[in-house]
């Protein structure tokens, strides 16, 4: 079914110095919103950014039917705007929605919504080298009912915010062996709000102990690395890029996938497999060069400086010639048009 997206624009807020603000603090001028009712998507609109009115009974407020995606738009060398890997984000969004019993958004509606919104707010895409526009698509259950049920009504929305470095400094992380993020059969691969809410408490404990994030381990042995706070976990050990395989409990990261493809093209050794913290200890204690980093849309490549395993801290290699920075640079070059987009990852508006 074709959807017409109406546009109501206003130009009241000016683009200000967005670089000095925390990630995601300031929305752009407009947003997209569509309603799902009676089994259909309707009232698709790009409108000035505004607060929502929801019934206190809205099911999303009680039972966690919320799903989101995060993607980014970049200004290219020639001044055009590129939305990176919109199709892969759409696929993951659709899988997350399926897992949470929420209705799919037709791909054309998803693409058109983002396209029209980013085009209208194009002045908000940072021109600086380290800047991009973070695009948050999300859906919430809005049927008003206290009874526990799958909602029959939803809102699908898109909002944007100028983004710069997510983590200002290399990270200090702690291997987490008491709490788990996800278990097999759970919602670990879905980008649903509950996965993030459940991570706050262990992360807060890690912060109190002097770390920025946790590195989650598996729920059965508490031994194999899963992912980190908002990112997939990746390592270079002896020049081999190692990252946990997509086991069903971690996110199928778009940045992860892009970096793996770039690494393979560069002829690097790449292994998607289980990696235990014991293996990390052996590598550190054998004096091997270990690079560790998080990969995510918001974080891009976030170097890890210290990994705490039990009571011992191990130092990772973060010097400028580290291999992770080569991958980071190649990725940016594709996004900004400095390198050819052989995978057709760029969606230029």
State the residues that interact with ligand COI by CB under 6 A: 70, 230, 296-298
> With respect to ligand COI, which residue has the nearer C-beta, 190 or 280?
190
Nearest residue to ligand COI, by Cβ distance, number only: 70
Which residues are CB-neighbours of 207 under 8 A, at least 6 positions away?
none
Nearer to ligand COI, 70 or 202 (CB): 70
What φ, ψ does residue 298 adopt, rounded to 5°?
A: -70, -45
Min. distance of Cβ 300 from ligand COI in angstroms?
Answer: 9
Our measurement of the distance from residue 204's CA atom to the centroid of its chain's CA atoms, rounded to an integer in Å, reads 20
Taken as a whole, the chain contains a residue count of: 349
Comparing CB distances to ligand COI, the nearer of 44 and 260 is 260
In the bound complex, what is the minimum distance in angstroms from residue 299's beta carbon to ligand COI? 6
Rounded Cα–Cα distance for residues 66 and 201 (Å)? 20
Q: Which residues pair with 192 in a beta bridge?
A: 67
Pairwise CA distance, residues 255 & 200, whole Å: 23
CA separation (Å) from 126 to 75, 122, 257, 261, 337?
7, 9, 25, 27, 16
For ligand COI, which is the closer residue by CB, 63 or 196? 196
User: Which one, 105 or 298, has the nearer CB to ligand COI?
Assistant: 298
What is the distance between the alpha carbons of residues 57 and 100, in angstroms, rounded to a whole number?
Answer: 19
Nearer to ligand COI, 5 or 21 (CB): 21
Q: How far is the CB of 103 from ligand COI (least distance, A)?
A: 21
Identity of the residue, 213 or 230, whose beta carbon is nearer to ligand COI in the bound complex: 230
CA-based nearest residue to 37, from 110, 144, 132, 164: 144
Shortest Cβ distance from residue 207 to ligand COI (Å)? 16
Structural contact between residues 80 and 119, judged by C-beta atoms closer than 8 angstroms: no
Shortest Å distance, C-beta 340 to ligand COI: 25
Cα–Cα nearest to 50, from 24, 31, 26, 72: 31
In the complex with ligand COI, the residue whose CB is nearer, 133 or 283, is 133
We find the least distance from the C-beta atom of residue 70 to ligand COI, in angstroms, to be 2
Do residues 44 and 4 touch, judged by C-beta distance below 8 A? yes
Least Å distance, CB 281 to ligand COI, is 28
If residue 291 lies in a helix (H) or strand (E), which one and from where to where?
strand 290-296
Alpha carbon distance 86, 260 (integer Å): 18
For residue 240, what are the β-bridge partners? 237, 269
Residue 107 beta carbon to ligand COI: minimum distance, rounded to whole angstroms: 19
């Amino acid at each position: 079914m074709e959807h017409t997206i109406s546009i109501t624009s206003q130009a009241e807020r000016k683009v200000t110095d967005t670089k000095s603000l925390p990630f995601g603090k300031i929305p752009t001028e407009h947003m997209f919103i569509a309603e799902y009712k009676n089994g259909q998507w309707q009232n698709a609109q790009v409108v000035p950014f505004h607060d929502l009115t929801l019934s206190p009974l809205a099911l999303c407020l009680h039972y966690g039917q919320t799903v989101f995606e995060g993607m980014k738009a970049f200004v290219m060398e020639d001044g055009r705007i590129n939305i990176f890997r919109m199709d892969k984000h759409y696929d993951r969004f659709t899988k997350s929605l399926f897992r949470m019993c929420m209705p799919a958004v037709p791909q054309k509606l998803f693409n058109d919504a983002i396209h029209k919104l980013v085009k209208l707010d194009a002045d908000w895409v940072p021109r600086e080298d380290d800047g991009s526009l973070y695009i948050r698509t999300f859906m919430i259950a809005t049927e008003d009912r206290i009874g526990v049920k799958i909602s029959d009504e939803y809102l699908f929305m898109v909002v944007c915010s100028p983004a710069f470095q997510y983590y200002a400094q290399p990270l200090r992380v702690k291997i987490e062996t008491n709490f788990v993020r996800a278990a097999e059969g759970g919602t670990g691969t879905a980008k649903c709000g509950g996965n993030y809410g459940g991570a706050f408490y262990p992360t807060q404990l890690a912060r109190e102990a002097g770390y920025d994030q946790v590195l989650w381990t598996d729920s059965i042995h508490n031994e194999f690395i899963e992912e980190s706070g908002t990112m997939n976990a990746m390592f270079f050990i002896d020049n081999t890029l190692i990252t946990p395989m997509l086991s069903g409990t971690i996110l199928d990261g778009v940045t992860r996938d892009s970096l793996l493809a770039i690494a393979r093209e560069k002829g690097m050794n790449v292994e998607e497999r289980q990696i235990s913290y014991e293996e990390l200890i052996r590598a550190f204690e054998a004096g091997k060069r270990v690079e560790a980093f998080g990969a995510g849309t918001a974080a891009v490549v976030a170097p890890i400086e210290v990994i705490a395993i039990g009571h011992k801290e191990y130092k990772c290699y973060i010097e400028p010639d580290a291999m992770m920075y080569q991958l980071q640079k190649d990725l940016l070059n594709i996004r900004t048009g400095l390198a050819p987009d052989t995978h057709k990852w760029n969606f230029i508006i």
